[in-house]
Structure formats: C-alpha cells, structure tokens
Amino acid sequence: MEASVIKRSRGRPRKEDAPEPAGILHAALSAFAQHGYAGVSLRNISQEAGVDAALIARRYDGKFGLWRAVVDEVSAGLKNAYLPAAQGPEIALEARLHATIERFVLFSLDMPDLGRFFADEISRPGERRNYVIEQIWNVNNEALLPLLREAQGAGMLPPECDAETFLTMLIGAVAMPLMMRSVALPGINSEQGKAAYMRNALSLFRPRG
C-alpha cells in the first residue's frame, strides 16, 4: 500500500492556515507565565502549540501583538465568567457576593497560569503593566469591589478589614497556591482536587452574614 504524501506549498504560510487561536493563546500564556516576556520567543510558543512560528507572527503581528491578544482573551474570559453571578437587589447581598467570588475562583482554576503571569507583569512598570491593570485588574475591581464595599458597610467583612484590602488578599490567596500547585496541590487537576480547592477558598472568604 502506497503512503499518501501531503505536499506543503511554497511561500509564506497563509494567515488562514493557522489553527484556532485558543491553542496558541493557551501556549502563549503558559510560556509568558513561566519565562516572562523577555524570555519567550515566538519559536518557543510555536513549538508548544504545534504551529508554524511564521503563522503566529502573521496572525498577531509579532510577539507583542500575541501578548496583547493573550491579555484580551483573559479579560474577555473574566467578563464572561462574572456575568452569570447572582445579581439584582432582590437577591441577598451575601448570596450575590458568594456567587461572584465563586466565579472568580472557578475562572482561576481553569486558568492556573494567570496568577504567575499577572504577578510578573504587574511588577514591571511600563506599557505592559498599564495594559494588564486596565484589562485584568480593573475587571476584577468592577465586579467585586462594589459588592465588597456594600458588605463592609453591612458588617460582613472581618473586623478592621476594608474592601480594597480584602479584594487584594482574595486575589493573592487564590492565585498563590495555584502558582505552587506542582508542590502544594498535587491533586489539583482532578475534579475532586478542584472541588476541594473551591470549598477551602469559599470557606476562607465567605462573607459573615
């Protein structure tokens, strides 16, 4: 039986030949999180994603364009994650806050490299830091801070804890263990491990009704 041979056409790869962006963006987020922006090349990402580096360069107009696409994807995902949370004045504040925190934890579990990526970028002043604040930090602020301020006014936060500090500690407390997951959370990739992590996170940050 004669094996079929697929001939690759000559010339530059066509932008439309690239696979769906999700795999590329996932590989890029992981690479940026592990190695930092300066330590990553399109070749590294292309090898991880199984995509020609030239296709990535053409689709995203280089490394910075790809980096921005990663941030935009995270931002859009966060906004969508917060949408189903319980809303409306007819729903008790405790239930609204609990649902919103739960959505944040679920999103973090689905994207465990985000914490390391965010921590690295937020520590480096410049254009990338400003963009991460605008597209990621501000999304969390807009979803959680009004609820936390309302909870503070209702006496639902721990004594002497203000809403802004509570939010910062929530994000850090959820992200840090996931950054250390290979050491501290060996079972986190299983459904049971994720469920246990969710229970612990919600227990720590449950509003006091």
Rg (C-alpha) for the chain, rounded Å, is 20
Q: How far apart are CA 45 and CA 27, in angstroms?
A: 6
What domains does the chain contain, in order, with CATH numbers? 68-204 (1.10.357.10)
Q: Where are the beta strands (DSSP E) in 48-182?
A: none
pLDDT digits (tens, 9 = 90+) for 160-186: 899 999 999 999 999 998 888 878 778
Q: Over range 105-126, report the average pLDDT.
A: 94
Residue whose C-alpha is closest to residue 200's, from 208, 188, 189, 209:
188
The continuous run of DSSP H or E covering 116 comes out as: helix 114-122
Q: Is the pLDDT of residue 2 over 90?
A: no
For residues 51 and 43, give the distance between their C-alpha atoms in angstroms, rounded to a whole number: 9
Q: Are 171 and 107 in contact (CB under 8 A)?
A: no
pLDDT > 90? residue 189: no
End-to-end CA separation in angstroms for the chain = 72
Helix, strand, coil shares, percent, the chain, to 5? 70, 0, 30
pLDDT, one tens digit per residue, over 60-112 is 999 999 999 999 999 999 999 998 766 666 788 888 998 999 999 999 999 99
pLDDT at 32 over 50: yes
- Please check the confidence at residue 11 and state whether its pLDDT lies above 60: no
Mean pLDDT of the chain: 87
C-alpha span between 135 and 77 (Å, rounded): 11
